Amino acid sequence: MLPTTREWVLKAEGDYDVVLLLLRSRKRGRHDPTCFHAQQCVEKYLKGRLTEAAIPFAKTHDLDELLNLALPVERRWTAFSGQFGVMSLYAVLPRYPGMTVSVADARTAVATCRRFRTLARQSLGLK
């Protein structure tokens, strides 16, 4: 694995750790940061895989855009096409007034993050 890929993975795992901490939190209403960190985990795994495949990408939080770049080398990831549109919004919007995510949104984001993380780690040869 390339050193830069390894850095992306470490950053992704940091976001995943925060998701797990937020899920275990006794305080309620932390759905906005949960969705943000789930989105960030997916984004960083996508960027890590693109880096490993030497596929250039723009500075973006658009998960569908990143996924479309990765699909030529990761055909199994086609299952996520169409699932990342709403998740991409979590990179910015819930962090400011005007958008609040629901419990159902957070559950969906976490489930998507977990499924994608598993496939991304397998793709990168990680357990």
- Res 28 pLDDT > 80: no
- Domains defined along the chain, listed by start: 3-123 (1.20.120.330)
* Residue 13: pLDDT over 90: yes
Residue pair 105/38 in contact (Cβ under 8 Å)? The answer is no
How far is the C-alpha of 10 from the C-alpha of 80, rounded, in Å? 22
pTM score of the predicted model: 0.95
Percentage of the chain surpassing pLDDT 70? 100
Q: What is the mean pLDDT of residues 9-32?
A: 91
1 in Cβ contact with 52 (< 8 Å): yes
